[in-house]
Amino acid sequence: MAPILGYWEIRGLAHSIRLLLHYKEAEFVNKMYPQGPPPDFSREAWYSEKFNLGLDFPNLPYYIDGDVKLTETSAIFAYLGRKYNLCGSTEDARVRNDMVYSVQDSHRSAYVRLSYSKESDFEALKRPFVESLPDRLEALSKFLGDHEYFGGAEIVYSDFCVYDLLDTFNNLSPGCVDKYANLKAYLARIEALPTLKKFLSSPEAYRKGPFNSKIAAWGSKPF
């Protein structure tokens, strides 16, 4: 039976996991839970199953692979990293992977706080966040340097997280990543990987958006 990746019917936290799985051409069921329309935005599709899946800490995303039943994004990536040899083959690659995963997670948390702020507050909060992007991106650019990937010469699981983060930033603040030549080239390099190119060009499998759920101040509209 194919593993199941469960998440909302959006990109959110699951998109980078989907990228990794498609990169490895892994068979899996992409279980997407719809959210109801306003004003209630019902989550019943998820709540009706939440406590019936055998998850120790029921949450989204989840990943079920036979007897292995995982929640928490970091735990899912650690498992898939081990399964598909994407944790890094050298100590340097493993250190780089661990560190940049934590860094991008911190940046993502700040972005999520902005995206799910009150709609009336969003524009006021967006300006300082956008103003913070050069510092965030400069640090990532410096860390990447002239390496091909964030694991150095090899792809590690944090690459899929950073790719998704950079692509999201470029949509929130168009062109912000393009100011950094190595990050722009990095995005193109990831997108050119044959299995990911196939996924990203598939109208059946790939959805550019929505980035966030229907209650978000930004990224809730489908593309």
CB 35 within 8 A of CB 43: yes
**CATH architecture for segment(s) 4-85:** Up-down Bundle (1.20)
- pLDDT of res. 84: 98
Asked whether the domain spanning 91-193 has the same topology as the one spanning 4-85, the reply is yes
User: What is the pLDDT at residue 181?
Assistant: 98
Write down the pLDDT at residue 222. 72
Rounded to whole angstroms, the Cα distance separating 17 from 222 reads 20
Burial class (CB in 10 A: 0-12, 13-18, 19+), 89: middle
In whole angstroms, what is the distance from residue 87 CA to residue 76 CA? 12
pLDDT score, position 204: 79
- Which pair of tokens denotes residue 145? 């340097």
Q: pTM for this structure? A: 0.96
Domain borders along the chain are: 4-85, 91-193
Residues of the chain with pLDDT under 70: 223
Region class of 145: left (phi > 0), else alpha (psi between -120 and 50), else beta: left
* CB-CB contact of 164 with 11 (8 Å): yes
Write down the pLDDT at residue 223.
Answer: 61
Contact between 2 and 200 under an 8 Å Cβ cutoff? The reply is no
Residue 105 confidence (pLDDT):
98
* Overall CATH class of domain 91-193: mainly alpha
For the stretch 89-126, pLDDT in tens is 999 999 999 999 999 999 999 999 999 999 999 999 99
DSSP 10: S
Q: What is the model's pLDDT at position 208?
A: 84
